[in-house]
Structure 1
Amino acid sequence: MSRPRTQAEYLARLVPPSVAGLHRRSLLAGAAGTGALLGTGLLAGCGGSDSGGSDAKTVSLGSNQSDPKPKEVVAKVMDGFQTSSGLRVAVNTVDHNTFQENINNYLQGKPDDVFMWFAGYRMRFFAARGLAGDLSDVWGKLSGFSDAFRKASTGDDGKQYFVPSSYYPWAVFYRKSVWQQNGYQVPKTLDEMTALAGEMKKDGLVPIAFADKDGWPAMGTFDILNLRINGYQFHVDLMAGKESWTSDRVRKVFDTWRGLLPLHQPDSLGRTWQEAAQSLQQKKSGMYLLGLFLGQQFNNDELDDLDFFTFPEIDPAIGAKALDAPIDGYMMARKPKQEANARKLLEYVGSKAAADITVKNDPSTLVANTQADTSGYNALQRKAAELVGSATEIAQFLDRDTRPDFASTVIIPALQQFIKDPKDIDGLTSSIENQKKSIFTD
């Protein structure tokens, strides 16, 4: 099945002019914005190791795809590259969060020839600091990407530093069998969703699965509430440091969230997203706001029972057409050990062949290359593609749409403090605003 006709239109809005200079699931642990080195060498590149990264027939890849299913898909894509090129890929797989937390130290040390990363601000941030290789020549050999995908892969200097591979929308997921058994209907407004959650409680379910041990999942909740209450433009301006966190509009976001917290799974700061997903998989929770990658936690025979809806309307004047839909892909180190091989690998991961392998093996994402054979998409993927195609505005995700130091050193602890104690919204927003002023004037 081909992509929705409106895909190019939605991608054209992916990097809006209002945030073109300022651009999920990613973390940086903050110090990158100030140039500090992170971690203690937890993320070691393969480039100069005994793994074979310096061998003329090998190229090394730093992968953050540590969960079983995506790790398996990466392996199959790399097998495809080896078959077509005769080159071997030495894959250095690191826990997803550890990869993000140590990325700055990694890139300034001895990184792998190629590494997995994210489009938008997070790509431009490292490209602008000379920590990524120019891939403009690779893009000259790629086909199947819209101009908007190219834009999302372009640095501030007009050169390309990123090859997109996949993207995924955030939505509210549920199990159809549970809803059919209890007679639940998809809510169109927040009031309807709140009433539905009350029914779920009576039926012995946790209304909304929730986890924030890793720091980033709660950003998705903030994002969608801000998009629904204040609209897309305010949201991206807030992320760009142009709006005040002490405004009534932001306070309303937190006040709305405070009212919803009792409907969320308790003790979320001690739970990973995978554990929260398992509560949905085990039919203990009724709903879960997360990205399409949620499907990784379901068996193949359970995916047909998984469905979703876009987070409902809060303000009729704003509607419910905006959403988060981040793009993942690949970048090259600034000085790869095997540069020619690295460029061959990047050309391959951006090809139709690589996208076709992903479609066949990963039911939890959407491929970026429009030439791919998407007839293998399951019902969930087809619906996700239609959702993204019908969106009026697309955000990349909070920690991809703002400065990494602000996201990690200010927003993560602030949101976790709010979850622990949601009473002092004024104190919380004042603290965020004061820190924002210091960071954004840096």
Structure 2
Amino acid sequence: MSSHDNDFFATAKADLNRRTLLRTLGIGAAGIAAAPLLSACTGGGSPSGGGSSSKSLTFGSNASDDVPKRAYQAVTDAFTKKTGNTVTTNVVPHNDFQNKINSYLQGSPDDSFTWFSGYRMRFYAGKGLVAPIDDVWDKIGGNFSDAMKKASTGDDGKMYFVPNYNYPWAFFYRKSLWAQKGYEVPKTFDALKTLAAKMKADGLIPIEFADKDGWPAMGTFDYINMRLNGYQFHLDLAAHKESWDQKKVSDVFDTWKALLPFQNPNALGMTWQDAAQSLGGQKSGMYLLGSFVTQQFTDKAVLDDIDMFPFPELAMEGTDAVEAPIDGVMLSKRGGDNQAAKDFLAYVGSPEGQNVYASVDPSNIQAAKGSDTSKFSPLNKKCAQMIADAKSISQFFDRDALPAMANNVMIPALQSFIKDGSVDVKNLESQAKALYAAQ
């Protein structure tokens, strides 16, 4: 979910601690041994990238977890069967892929690759590291809403991204546990705190939480920020049109402090997959994460027992703003010369291609109009309705903000806050000024 970008190293200030420095180099928790991984995920020496006559392509994928990995394999298999074009897929561990994306795109990247909409798509498009795909959109544009088209457009007005699916962030829980304990869905933040206190008294971890990888905590920050200050403030803060050193931002952290005693105290040592298992095992009461959390529930009885509710209202906008990031595929500059790669993107952007993906990974909501929703579970329908009803859809902080701000500044700041409840908004602002001014 997050990207630690090498090109921002020169702008890092002296007050970056050792952990932040390692993040900037892309070495963090994955360890130094992970550094060569993405260089192996290149198309150099493959037959693709050779122009419009090519019948093959390479596909760099961050879908390293079992379910999405199999889902993309199903898509590439179906594409090959339909077109005769062969796809060589290079799967890289999810976080490593994000950590190395900048050097990857400047090296010998695959023709096509998984990525995200929002600022992080526009950023690399603006740097000229990816290929425009207006000709692909000429074929598939009718499959997408105006909102999806906007999310796929670069700052220069050209198209760069094909949406595959999106997924809402919400509180997920086990229905049977809640029925047994008599818990009710909280409509307000105060009700959420009251419920969490009851869960703690019942011997549960009230709010499952995991932030070993750094990015998950951004979802909690985004929701409290939007619920307190509104969707537009979220966008403006992420773009540094608003200062970090102001009461509105301090209020977000002060509000969050009320939840810290109820979140998993071992969060900094846990991945989201670890936390999902705790939720599935009924050791915790609820978990704020994207609907991809359901990928971890392989027991159908457990999966059928999962329900969700939106982050409760606080001050500004009820629950009108929903965090629902869009995932999809792009072309590298090299892939822009490969017609087979363009054809692959067009297939991913078709209802047929998205139905193939969803047949293996039903945890997300297909982005293309005309996709088959007849097999949606009640939870899928609820997720889709939440997105459809939203007046505003955010892309997640590390997709709406400058990559260096999200990863070099926010990750260590949020992890420090989770550890001891303290945050220095003046320091956040000084680092934001330096990083955004360098762009």
Shift in Å, 1:365? 0.2
Pair 1:304-2:299 in alignment: no
Q: Is the 8 A contact 2:49 2:335 kept in 1?
A: no
Equivalent of residue 437 in structure 1, options 423, 433, 437: 433
Alignment of 1:240-255 (within 5 A): 240-255=239-254
- Matched residue, 2:4: 29
**Equivalent residue letter for 1:402:** A
Q: What is the rounded CA distance, in whole Å, between the counterparts of 2:49 and 2:231 in structure 1?
A: 46
Tell me by how many angstroms 1:414 deviates: 0.6
The answer to whether the aligner puts 1:346 opposite 2:345 as a matched pair is yes
Paired with 2:172 and 2:310, the residues of 1 have a C-alpha distance of: 9
- Secondary structure of 2:335's counterpart equals coil
Q: How many residues matched?
A: 412
Q: Deviations over 1:26-54 (max 9, x none)?
A: 2221434468995543202341146x546
Q: Is the Cα–Cα contact under 8 Å of residues 132 and 159 in structure 2 kept in the other structure?
A: yes
TM-score of the pair, normalised by structure 1? 0.90
Cα distance in 2 between the residues matched to 1:436 and 1:31: 17
Tell me which residue corresponds to 1:20.
Answer: none
Match of 1:201 in 2: 200
Which residue of 2 is the match for residue 286 of structure 1? 285
* Cα drift, residue 420 of structure 1: 1.2
- More divergent stretch after superposition (37-46 vs 90-99): 37-46
User: Partners in 2 of 1:343 and 1:216 — Cα distance?
Assistant: 31
Structure 2 match to 1:4 = none
Would you say 1:313 and 2:313 are equivalent positions? yes
1:418 equivalent in structure 2: 417
- 1:244 and 1:419 map into 2 onto residues whose CA distance is 22
Q: 1:93 aligns with which of 91, 105, 111?
A: 91
- Percent of aligned pairs with the same amino acid: 51
SS in 2 for 1:91: strand
TM-superposed deviation, 1:245? 1.4
User: 1:270 Cα shift?
Assistant: 0.7
| Shift in Å, 1:394 | 1.1
Aligned to 2:129: 131
Q: Tell me how far apart the structure 1 counterparts of residues 331 and 434 of structure 2 sit (CA, whole Å).
A: 32
CA apart distance, 1:157: 1.3
How large is the Cα RMSD of the aligned pairs? Answer: 1.7
How far 1:231 sits from its partner (Å)?
1.3
More moved, 352-361 vs 384-393: 352-361
Which of 17, 33, 41 matches 2:36? 41
Gaps of 5+ in 2: 12-23, 27-34
Contact 2:322 2:392 in 1 (8 A): yes
- Where does 1:316-331 land on structure 2 (aligned, <5 Å)? 317-331=316-330
Is the CA contact (8 Å cut-off) linking 2:131 and 2:336 kept in structure 1?
no
List per-residue Cα deviations over 1:328-380 (Å, max 9, x = no partner): 00001102396111111111111111111123222210000011111111111
State the TM-score, normalized to the length of structure 2: 0.90
Does the aligned pair in 1 maintain the 2:49–2:111 contact within 8 Å? Answer: no
Shift of residue 440, structure 1, vs aligned partner: 1.7
Among 103, 106, 109, the alignment partner of 1:105 is: 103
Distance across 2 between alignment mates of 1:341 and 1:189: 51
SS at match of 1:105: helix
Per-residue CA distance 1:148-201 (angstroms, 9 max, x = gap): 211211111111111110000100000000000111000111111111111111
Whole-Å Cα distance in 1 between the matches of residues 166 and 243 of structure 2?
30
Instruction: Indicate which of 68, 71, 85 corresponds to 1:70.
Output: 68
Q: Secondary structure at the match of 1:375?
A: coil
